[in-house]
């Protein structure tokens, strides 16, 4: 089971495509640490009873800035859970932060949009690209010295301003020592004012798809993720072709929880199902949860299901590039 928990909706950067841009005048919220600890223990009980592994992935905002995260991560590891996170990389300059990742995490995904001329401006972080390079290189070197099992992944949000240099960026990230590179297309849900002039076009996707086989071979052993079904879905969205999902099976293996404790198969439908972590009192409730979500989805689909944008439905994380 993969559980992605967005523990806060605040961030220290100002990305114009992101709902958590620090410049936005929004009321910010965070998860209740006591409730997170309770659910962590419940997930540990479920893992012990079923023998099935659990990967708990912290999301934000910027999760590594959330003060309760250190103790909750240690608690989760003590209960046998694996831990991952997605970060903007601003904490990687800290030796303490890197040591914590190396000691407790199975995966860390660093968000990067392009080279310095693009990334620094897009993130509102002067010197961002150089600082990320330094932090990632140090993390990879310290991983080797400690013989740690941490997987280091980079994720790129592809848009009109960076897609042409994606191959060059992948070669650079491979040189930094990252194990995997994933990507997703710019979406319009978070910041609709930014989307129209920056979204991918069909020709962008055709060129990207044509370049990937050779690029995958070139940067090996670094793995470039994203299979044909994933690329096809990206191409369809550039043509504004909706993809309705009548029977979502994502919840069989994947759960999303937001900072208010609401549960859904993906972050696009978190307001729809009316389930929260308060509904989970015992391992049996976790076992029944996928069935409850699927029944609810079939009976009354979430509006987002009329045009599914969940990368979990497709092959974003396919390392082989197959279907």
Among 309, 323, 293, 308, smallest CA distance to 1 is for 293
Residue 211: HSE in the Cβ half-sphere, 13 Å Cα cutoff: 16
Q: Which two tokens stand for residue 116?
A: 């310095």
pTM: 0.94
Number of domains in the chain: 2
Q: Indicate the range of 92-106, 240-254, 290-304 predicted with least confidence.
A: 240-254
* 147 and 185 together in one domain: yes
For residue 321, is it within any domain? no
* 51 and 110 together in one domain: no
For residue 172, is it within any domain? yes
Final residue in a domain of this structure, among 197, 212, 243:
243
Q: What is the pLDDT of residue 319?
A: 66
Residues 89-128: tens digit of each pLDDT: 999 999 999 999 999 999 999 999 999 999 999 999 999 9
Cβ neighbours of residue 116 closer than 8 Å, sequence gap 6 or more: 127, 128, 129, 130
What number of other Cβ atoms are within 10 A of residue 270's Cβ? 20
For residue 323, is it within any domain? no
For residue 248, is it within any domain? no
Helix axes 116-123, 128-146, angle to 10 degrees: 100
* 95 and 219 together in one domain: yes
* 211 and 271 together in one domain: no
For residue 318, is it within any domain? no
Cβ neighbours of residue 49 closer than 8 Å, sequence gap 6 or more: 283
Domain extent, residue 184, equals 88-243
Q: How confident is the model at residue 256 (pLDDT cuts 50, 70, 90)?
A: very high
* 101 and 228 together in one domain: yes
Residues 118-173: tens digit of each pLDDT: 999 999 999 999 999 999 999 999 999 999 999 999 999 999 999 999 999 999 99
For residue 319, is it within any domain? no
* 103 and 225 together in one domain: yes
């Amino acid at each position: 089971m993969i559980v992605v928990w967005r523990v806060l909706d605040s961030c220290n950067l100002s990305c114009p495509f992101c709902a958590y841009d620090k410049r936005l005048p929004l009321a910010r919220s965070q998860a209740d640490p006591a409730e997170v600890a309770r659910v962590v223990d419940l997930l540990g009980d479920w893992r012990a009873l079923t023998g099935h592994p659990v990967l708990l992935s912290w999301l934000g905002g910027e999760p590594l800035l959330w003060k309760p995260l250190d103790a909750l991560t240690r608690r989760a590891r003590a209960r046998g859970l694996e831990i991952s996170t997605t970060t903007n990389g601003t904490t990687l300059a800290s030796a303490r932060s890197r040591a914590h990742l190396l000691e407790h995490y199975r995966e860390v995904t660093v968000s990067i949009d392009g080279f310095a001329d693009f990334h620094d401006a897009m993130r509102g972080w002067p010197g961002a690209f150089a600082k990320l390079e330094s932090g990632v290189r140090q993390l990879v070197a310290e991983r080797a010295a400690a013989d740690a099992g941490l997987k280091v992944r980079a994720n790129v949000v592809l848009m009109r301003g960076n897609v042409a240099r994606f191959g060059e960026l992948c070669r650079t990230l491979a040189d930094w020592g990252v194990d995997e590179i994933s990507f997703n297309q710019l979406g319009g849900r978070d910041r609709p004012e930014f989307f129209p002039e920056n979204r991918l076009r069909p020709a962008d996707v055709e060129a990207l798809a044509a370049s990937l086989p050779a690029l995958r071979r070139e940067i090996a052993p670094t793995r470039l993720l994203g299979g044909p079904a994933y690329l096809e879905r990206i191409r369809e969205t550039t043509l504004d072709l909706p993809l309705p999902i009548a029977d979502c099976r994502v919840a069989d293996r994947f759960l999303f929880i937001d900072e208010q404790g609401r549960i859904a198969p993906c972050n696009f439908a978190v307001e729809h199902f009316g389930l929260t972590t308060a509904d989970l009192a015992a391992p049996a409730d976790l076992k029944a949860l996928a069935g409850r979500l699927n029944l609810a989805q079939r009976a009354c689909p979430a509006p987002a299901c009329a045009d599914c944008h969940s990368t979990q439905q497709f092959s974003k994380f396919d390392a082989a590039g197959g279907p």
